[in-house]
Structure 1
Amino acid sequence: MSDLDKLDRAILGALQADGRMPVARLAETVGLSETPCARRLKRLEQAGYIDRYRAVLSRRALGYGVVGFVSVRFAVHDRALADRFEREVCAIERIVSCHNISGTADYILQIVARDLDDYGTFMRDQLRSLPGVTSVESALSLREVKADGGVPLS
Protein backbone atom coordinates (compact mmCIF):
# COMPACT_ATOMS: atom_id res chain seq x y z
CA MET A 1 0.00 0.00 0.00
CA SER A 2 3.05 2.26 0.21
CA ASP A 3 2.75 3.08 -3.50
CA LEU A 4 -0.66 4.66 -2.90
CA ASP A 5 -0.70 8.39 -2.39
CA LYS A 6 -3.31 10.48 -0.60
CA LEU A 7 -5.47 10.86 -3.73
CA ASP A 8 -5.40 7.11 -4.46
CA ARG A 9 -6.55 6.42 -0.90
CA ALA A 10 -9.28 9.05 -1.24
CA ILE A 11 -10.52 7.43 -4.47
CA LEU A 12 -10.54 3.97 -2.87
CA GLY A 13 -12.31 5.27 0.24
CA ALA A 14 -14.99 7.05 -1.77
CA LEU A 15 -15.61 3.96 -3.90
CA GLN A 16 -15.66 1.72 -0.84
CA ALA A 17 -18.46 3.91 0.54
CA ASP A 18 -20.32 4.12 -2.80
CA GLY A 19 -19.23 1.81 -5.60
CA ARG A 20 -21.78 3.29 -8.01
CA MET A 21 -20.33 6.78 -7.79
CA PRO A 22 -19.88 8.19 -11.31
CA VAL A 23 -16.36 9.30 -12.22
CA ALA A 24 -17.47 12.94 -12.37
CA ARG A 25 -18.71 12.87 -8.78
CA LEU A 26 -15.70 10.81 -7.69
CA ALA A 27 -13.38 13.42 -9.20
CA GLU A 28 -15.23 16.20 -7.42
CA THR A 29 -15.17 14.29 -4.13
CA VAL A 30 -11.39 13.80 -4.20
CA GLY A 31 -10.53 17.19 -5.69
CA LEU A 32 -9.38 16.16 -9.17
CA SER A 33 -10.61 16.87 -12.65
CA GLU A 34 -12.41 14.03 -14.37
CA THR A 35 -9.70 12.79 -16.76
CA PRO A 36 -6.88 12.39 -14.20
CA CYS A 37 -9.35 10.78 -11.79
CA ALA A 38 -10.46 8.29 -14.45
CA ARG A 39 -6.79 7.47 -15.21
CA ARG A 40 -6.05 6.88 -11.52
CA LEU A 41 -9.16 4.73 -11.16
CA LYS A 42 -8.17 2.61 -14.16
CA ARG A 43 -4.64 2.21 -12.72
CA LEU A 44 -6.05 1.17 -9.32
CA GLU A 45 -8.33 -1.39 -10.99
CA GLN A 46 -5.52 -2.80 -13.13
CA ALA A 47 -3.15 -2.98 -10.14
CA GLY A 48 -5.69 -5.12 -8.30
CA TYR A 49 -6.63 -2.70 -5.51
CA ILE A 50 -10.28 -3.03 -6.53
CA ASP A 51 -11.48 -6.64 -6.60
CA ARG A 52 -14.97 -5.98 -7.90
CA TYR A 53 -18.01 -3.74 -7.67
CA ARG A 54 -21.20 -5.00 -6.07
CA ALA A 55 -24.42 -4.04 -4.33
CA VAL A 56 -24.77 -4.71 -0.61
CA LEU A 57 -28.22 -6.23 -0.15
CA SER A 58 -30.38 -5.92 2.93
CA ARG A 59 -30.66 -9.37 4.48
CA ARG A 60 -33.65 -8.22 6.56
CA ALA A 61 -35.54 -6.93 3.50
CA LEU A 62 -34.86 -10.29 1.84
CA GLY A 63 -36.26 -12.16 4.85
CA TYR A 64 -33.09 -13.35 6.58
CA GLY A 65 -33.67 -12.50 10.23
CA VAL A 66 -31.02 -14.78 11.75
CA VAL A 67 -27.24 -14.56 11.46
CA GLY A 68 -25.18 -17.38 12.91
CA PHE A 69 -21.46 -17.85 13.31
CA VAL A 70 -20.53 -21.51 13.24
CA SER A 71 -17.23 -23.06 14.30
CA VAL A 72 -16.60 -26.25 12.35
CA ARG A 73 -14.15 -28.93 13.46
CA PHE A 74 -12.68 -31.88 11.59
CA ALA A 75 -11.44 -35.05 13.27
CA VAL A 76 -9.20 -35.94 10.34
CA HIS A 77 -7.05 -33.28 8.69
CA ASP A 78 -6.81 -34.47 5.14
CA ARG A 79 -6.15 -32.02 2.29
CA ALA A 80 -8.53 -33.71 -0.15
CA LEU A 81 -11.31 -33.71 2.46
CA ALA A 82 -10.72 -30.02 3.23
CA ASP A 83 -10.80 -29.21 -0.49
CA ARG A 84 -14.15 -31.02 -0.87
CA PHE A 85 -15.55 -29.20 2.19
CA GLU A 86 -14.46 -25.82 0.82
CA ARG A 87 -15.93 -26.50 -2.64
CA GLU A 88 -19.28 -27.49 -1.13
CA VAL A 89 -19.32 -24.51 1.24
CA CYS A 90 -18.68 -22.14 -1.68
CA ALA A 91 -21.73 -23.56 -3.47
CA ILE A 92 -24.13 -22.89 -0.56
CA GLU A 93 -25.56 -19.36 -0.87
CA ARG A 94 -26.70 -18.99 2.72
CA ILE A 95 -23.10 -19.41 3.89
CA VAL A 96 -22.06 -15.80 3.33
CA SER A 97 -18.47 -16.18 4.50
CA CYS A 98 -16.07 -18.98 5.36
CA HIS A 99 -12.64 -18.67 6.92
CA ASN A 100 -10.07 -21.38 7.59
CA ILE A 101 -8.84 -20.39 11.06
CA SER A 102 -6.30 -21.24 13.69
CA GLY A 103 -7.30 -22.36 17.16
CA THR A 104 -9.63 -25.11 18.31
CA ALA A 105 -11.86 -24.97 15.23
CA ASP A 106 -10.84 -25.50 11.63
CA TYR A 107 -13.33 -23.11 9.98
CA ILE A 108 -15.69 -20.37 10.98
CA LEU A 109 -18.76 -19.75 8.83
CA GLN A 110 -21.24 -16.90 8.75
CA ILE A 111 -24.70 -18.17 7.89
CA VAL A 112 -28.02 -16.43 7.26
CA ALA A 113 -31.43 -17.99 7.85
CA ARG A 114 -35.02 -16.85 7.72
CA ASP A 115 -35.73 -17.78 11.35
CA LEU A 116 -34.54 -20.20 14.06
CA ASP A 117 -36.46 -23.13 12.59
CA ASP A 118 -34.85 -22.53 9.21
CA TYR A 119 -31.44 -22.24 10.89
CA GLY A 120 -31.94 -25.52 12.76
CA THR A 121 -33.04 -27.34 9.62
CA PHE A 122 -30.04 -26.02 7.70
CA MET A 123 -27.67 -27.11 10.47
CA ARG A 124 -29.18 -30.60 10.66
CA ASP A 125 -29.70 -31.30 6.97
CA GLN A 126 -26.84 -29.48 5.27
CA LEU A 127 -24.04 -28.26 7.48
CA ARG A 128 -23.52 -31.36 9.60
CA SER A 129 -23.48 -33.54 6.48
CA LEU A 130 -20.64 -31.65 4.78
CA PRO A 131 -17.46 -33.67 4.15
CA GLY A 132 -15.12 -33.85 7.14
CA VAL A 133 -17.39 -32.14 9.67
CA THR A 134 -17.31 -33.88 13.03
CA SER A 135 -18.57 -31.09 15.26
CA VAL A 136 -20.18 -27.67 14.98
CA GLU A 137 -20.74 -24.92 17.52
CA SER A 138 -23.09 -22.02 16.84
CA ALA A 139 -23.21 -18.48 18.13
CA LEU A 140 -26.23 -16.45 17.05
CA SER A 141 -25.96 -12.73 16.47
CA LEU A 142 -28.26 -10.75 18.75
CA ARG A 143 -27.55 -7.42 17.07
CA GLU A 144 -25.15 -6.24 14.39
CA VAL A 145 -23.00 -3.47 15.81
CA LYS A 146 -20.73 -2.91 12.81
CA ALA A 147 -21.20 -4.27 9.32
CA ASP A 148 -18.43 -4.93 6.85
CA GLY A 149 -17.11 -1.41 6.37
CA GLY A 150 -14.33 -2.39 4.03
CA VAL A 151 -10.60 -2.32 4.63
CA PRO A 152 -8.72 0.47 6.40
CA LEU A 153 -6.91 2.86 4.08
CA SER A 154 -4.68 4.73 6.52
Structure 2
Amino acid sequence: MIDLDDVDRGLLRALVLDAGLSAGELGRRFGLSQPAAWRRIKRLEDAGVIAGRRLDVDRSALGFGVTVFLGVKLATKGRVSLEDFERAVMAIPEVQVVQHVLGLFDYRLRVVARDIADFERVLRRRIMTLPGVGQVEANVLLTEERRPGPIG
Protein backbone atom coordinates (compact mmCIF):
# COMPACT_ATOMS: atom_id res chain seq x y z
CA MET A 1 0.00 0.00 0.00
CA ILE A 2 1.26 3.46 -0.91
CA ASP A 3 1.11 6.46 1.39
CA LEU A 4 -1.00 9.25 -0.11
CA ASP A 5 -0.87 12.87 0.91
CA ASP A 6 -3.53 15.51 0.28
CA VAL A 7 -2.01 16.47 -3.08
CA ASP A 8 -2.00 12.82 -4.24
CA ARG A 9 -5.66 12.46 -3.25
CA GLY A 10 -6.49 15.73 -5.02
CA LEU A 11 -4.73 14.55 -8.19
CA LEU A 12 -6.68 11.28 -8.07
CA ARG A 13 -10.01 13.06 -7.58
CA ALA A 14 -9.28 15.35 -10.53
CA LEU A 15 -8.24 12.42 -12.77
CA VAL A 16 -11.31 10.38 -11.81
CA LEU A 17 -13.48 13.25 -13.05
CA ASP A 18 -11.37 13.89 -16.17
CA ALA A 19 -8.66 11.35 -17.02
CA GLY A 20 -7.52 13.52 -19.93
CA LEU A 21 -6.10 16.31 -17.77
CA SER A 22 -2.46 17.03 -18.56
CA ALA A 23 0.29 17.11 -15.96
CA GLY A 24 0.63 20.84 -16.69
CA GLU A 25 -3.05 21.50 -15.93
CA LEU A 26 -2.92 19.33 -12.80
CA GLY A 27 0.21 21.14 -11.67
CA ARG A 28 -1.50 24.53 -12.05
CA ARG A 29 -4.51 23.30 -10.05
CA PHE A 30 -2.40 21.94 -7.19
CA GLY A 31 0.49 24.41 -7.10
CA LEU A 32 3.02 22.04 -8.66
CA SER A 33 5.32 22.35 -11.62
CA GLN A 34 4.44 20.21 -14.64
CA PRO A 35 7.38 17.82 -13.98
CA ALA A 36 6.43 17.48 -10.28
CA ALA A 37 2.82 16.68 -11.17
CA TRP A 38 3.99 14.18 -13.80
CA ARG A 39 6.31 12.47 -11.25
CA ARG A 40 3.45 12.13 -8.76
CA ILE A 41 1.14 10.67 -11.41
CA LYS A 42 3.90 8.29 -12.55
CA ARG A 43 4.47 7.20 -8.93
CA LEU A 44 0.72 6.47 -8.57
CA GLU A 45 0.76 4.50 -11.83
CA ASP A 46 3.87 2.53 -10.84
CA ALA A 47 2.27 1.67 -7.48
CA GLY A 48 -0.84 0.41 -9.26
CA VAL A 49 -3.12 3.06 -7.75
CA ILE A 50 -3.82 4.35 -11.26
CA ALA A 51 -4.46 1.20 -13.26
CA GLY A 52 -5.17 2.96 -16.53
CA ARG A 53 -7.18 5.72 -18.08
CA ARG A 54 -10.31 5.23 -20.06
CA LEU A 55 -12.50 6.97 -22.52
CA ASP A 56 -16.21 7.27 -21.75
CA VAL A 57 -18.39 7.00 -24.82
CA ASP A 58 -21.93 8.34 -24.82
CA ARG A 59 -23.80 5.20 -25.86
CA SER A 60 -27.00 7.10 -26.68
CA ALA A 61 -25.08 9.37 -29.09
CA LEU A 62 -24.07 6.18 -30.93
CA GLY A 63 -27.66 4.99 -31.10
CA PHE A 64 -27.66 2.65 -28.09
CA GLY A 65 -30.52 4.10 -26.05
CA VAL A 66 -31.26 1.10 -23.82
CA THR A 67 -29.08 -0.41 -21.10
CA VAL A 68 -30.21 -3.57 -19.35
CA PHE A 69 -28.66 -5.39 -16.42
CA LEU A 70 -29.19 -9.12 -16.66
CA GLY A 71 -28.90 -11.59 -13.84
CA VAL A 72 -28.03 -15.00 -15.29
CA LYS A 73 -28.26 -18.25 -13.36
CA LEU A 74 -26.61 -21.21 -15.03
CA ALA A 75 -28.82 -24.28 -15.27
CA THR A 76 -26.12 -26.92 -15.46
CA LYS A 77 -22.99 -25.77 -13.68
CA GLY A 78 -21.48 -29.24 -13.73
CA ARG A 79 -21.92 -29.78 -17.47
CA VAL A 80 -20.87 -26.33 -18.66
CA SER A 81 -17.72 -24.74 -17.34
CA LEU A 82 -17.79 -21.17 -16.17
CA GLU A 83 -14.98 -20.42 -18.62
CA ASP A 84 -17.07 -21.70 -21.54
CA PHE A 85 -19.98 -19.46 -20.56
CA GLU A 86 -17.70 -16.45 -20.01
CA ARG A 87 -15.93 -16.93 -23.33
CA ALA A 88 -19.26 -17.24 -25.18
CA VAL A 89 -20.93 -14.26 -23.50
CA MET A 90 -17.89 -12.00 -24.00
CA ALA A 91 -18.11 -12.66 -27.75
CA ILE A 92 -21.46 -10.82 -27.88
CA PRO A 93 -20.70 -7.18 -28.75
CA GLU A 94 -23.79 -5.80 -26.99
CA VAL A 95 -22.59 -7.29 -23.69
CA GLN A 96 -20.43 -4.55 -22.22
CA VAL A 97 -19.66 -5.99 -18.77
CA VAL A 98 -19.56 -9.56 -17.46
CA GLN A 99 -19.40 -9.98 -13.67
CA HIS A 100 -19.22 -13.35 -11.92
CA VAL A 101 -21.14 -12.75 -8.69
CA LEU A 102 -22.18 -14.50 -5.51
CA GLY A 103 -25.89 -14.60 -4.74
CA LEU A 104 -29.13 -15.52 -6.46
CA PHE A 105 -27.52 -15.29 -9.91
CA ASP A 106 -24.15 -16.54 -11.12
CA TYR A 107 -23.49 -13.64 -13.49
CA ARG A 108 -24.48 -10.02 -13.91
CA LEU A 109 -24.29 -8.62 -17.43
CA ARG A 110 -24.53 -5.05 -18.68
CA VAL A 111 -26.12 -5.15 -22.13
CA VAL A 112 -26.66 -2.20 -24.48
CA ALA A 113 -29.18 -2.12 -27.32
CA ARG A 114 -30.65 0.40 -29.72
CA ASP A 115 -34.15 -0.02 -28.28
CA ILE A 116 -36.28 -2.61 -26.47
CA ALA A 117 -36.96 -4.56 -29.68
CA ASP A 118 -33.21 -4.73 -30.35
CA PHE A 119 -32.62 -5.88 -26.76
CA GLU A 120 -35.25 -8.61 -27.18
CA ARG A 121 -33.43 -9.80 -30.32
CA VAL A 122 -30.08 -9.92 -28.47
CA LEU A 123 -31.68 -11.72 -25.54
CA ARG A 124 -33.52 -14.34 -27.62
CA ARG A 125 -30.94 -14.99 -30.34
CA ARG A 126 -27.66 -14.53 -28.50
CA ILE A 127 -27.91 -14.67 -24.72
CA MET A 128 -30.59 -17.33 -24.23
CA THR A 129 -28.75 -19.65 -26.63
CA LEU A 130 -25.50 -19.55 -24.63
CA PRO A 131 -24.29 -22.81 -23.08
CA GLY A 132 -25.80 -23.50 -19.67
CA VAL A 133 -28.13 -20.49 -19.43
CA GLY A 134 -31.03 -21.20 -17.09
CA GLN A 135 -32.86 -18.39 -15.34
CA VAL A 136 -32.50 -14.78 -16.55
CA GLU A 137 -33.77 -11.59 -14.90
CA ALA A 138 -33.67 -8.23 -16.68
CA ASN A 139 -33.55 -4.77 -15.13
CA VAL A 140 -33.77 -1.83 -17.53
CA LEU A 141 -31.65 1.17 -16.58
CA LEU A 142 -33.75 4.33 -16.23
CA THR A 143 -31.11 6.81 -15.02
CA GLU A 144 -27.51 6.59 -13.93
CA GLU A 145 -25.52 8.85 -11.67
CA ARG A 146 -21.77 8.48 -11.70
CA ARG A 147 -19.93 8.98 -8.44
CA PRO A 148 -16.21 8.57 -8.01
CA GLY A 149 -15.27 6.03 -5.39
CA PRO A 150 -13.54 6.78 -2.12
CA ILE A 151 -9.99 8.05 -2.37
CA GLY A 152 -8.00 7.40 0.81
Task: Confirm or deny a common fold (TM above 0.5).
Answer: yes
CA shift digits 1:126-152 (9 cap, x unpaired): 0011122112111112x21413x3422
Q: Name stretches of at least 5 consecutive residues in structure 1 with no aligned partner.
A: none
- Over the residues paired in the alignment, what is the CA RMSD in angstroms? 1.8
Residue matched to 1:124: 124
- CA shift at 1:93, angstroms? 2.5
> Cα distance 1:52–1:91, how it changes in 2: closer, same or farther (>3 A)?
farther
Identity across the alignment (%)? 38
> Could you say what secondary structure the match of 1:152 adopts?
coil
Paired with 1:93 and 1:62, the residues of 2 have a C-alpha distance of: 14
> Cα distance 1:74–1:19, how it changes in 2: closer, same or farther (>3 A)?
same
> Could you say what secondary structure the match of 2:50 adopts?
coil
In the superposition, the TM-score normalised over structure 2's length comes to 0.90
Letter in 2 for 1:14: A
> Cα distance 1:52–1:92, how it changes in 2: closer, same or farther (>3 A)?
farther
Letter in 2 for 1:144: T
Paired with 1:98 and 1:146, the residues of 2 have a C-alpha distance of: 20
Aligned residues: 152
Confirm or deny that 1:59 pairs with 2:64.
no
In the superposition, the TM-score normalised over structure 1's length comes to 0.89
Confirm or deny that 1:105 pairs with 2:105.
yes
Confirm or deny that 1:49 pairs with 2:49.
yes
> Cα distance 1:11–1:78, how it changes in 2: closer, same or farther (>3 A)?
farther
- CA shift at 1:94, angstroms? 1.5
Letter in 1 for 2:96: V
Letter in 1 for 2:115: D
> Cα distance 1:91–1:31, how it changes in 2: closer, same or farther (>3 A)?
farther
Residue matched to 2:16: 16
CA shift digits 1:30-75 (9 cap, x unpaired): 2222222111111111111122222101111000111111110012
Paired with 2:8 and 2:90, the residues of 1 have a C-alpha distance of: 32
Residue matched to 1:140: 140
Confirm or deny that 1:31 pairs with 2:44.
no
Paired with 1:79 and 1:8, the residues of 2 have a C-alpha distance of: 49
Paired with 2:87 and 2:124, the residues of 1 have a C-alpha distance of: 19
Paired with 2:78 and 2:14, the residues of 1 have a C-alpha distance of: 43
> Structure 1: which 4+ aligned runs deviate by more than 6 Å?
none
